[in-house]
Amino acid sequence: MFFLPVYFYSSELHVTVEPGHAAVFAGGLLLALLALALHVRLSDAASGLVLATVAVAAALAILAAFGVLLLVLVGGGCGDDEGHIPKLAWVGGGAIYLAAASWGLQRPGRSLWAVPVSLLAAGAFVVGVAVVFTGSTGACLE
């Protein structure tokens, strides 16, 4: 799920999709489906329960992704500043998300809150790094 906000932000929220971006999106989706199959296979809980909790957690994570987008916009500046999100901030945010969401997915009930909260925490980290080091995220709705 983490690759979706990165994908949309990296394409600067354009509606058109370039061929390279579509390949990144398709590769991320394939990787996510393979990880889901592996998670269901290795889980001690019943497959139906695991799939149901992952589906709900994914839906909540999509809502959290809109929260991250809002954080990016709030941290943005439409002025003359040179704000941007450093590439290493995305790496740190990805590490936070993967660590916290992986911990959350170890138990079906915990995944319902841990996956969306981990995405919000990663987004807050990314925006915080951008604001501290560059002044803003550079995002603007003009």
Report yes or no: 126 and 75 within 8 Å, Cβ to Cβ. Answer: no
The pLDDT, as a whole number, for residue 112 is 93
The pLDDT, as a whole number, for residue 4 is 52
Report yes or no: 137 and 84 within 8 Å, Cβ to Cβ. Answer: yes
Q: Where do the domains of the chain lie?
A: 3-134
The pLDDT, as a whole number, for residue 78 is 75
Environment class of 33 (CB within 10 Å of its CB; exposed 0-12, middle 13-18, buried 19+)? exposed
The pLDDT, as a whole number, for residue 120 is 96
Q: What is the DSSP secondary structure assignment for residue 2, as one 8-state letter?
A: T
pLDDT per residue over 34-74, tens digit each? 988 998 898 888 989 999 999 999 899 999 999 999 998 88
Q: Which residues contact 37 (CB under 8 A, 6 or more apart)?
A: none
pTM attached to this predicted model: 0.76
The pLDDT, as a whole number, for residue 135 is 85
Angle at 62 between CA 74 and CA 67, to 5 degrees: 15
* Ranges under pLDDT 70 in the chain: 1-19, 79-81
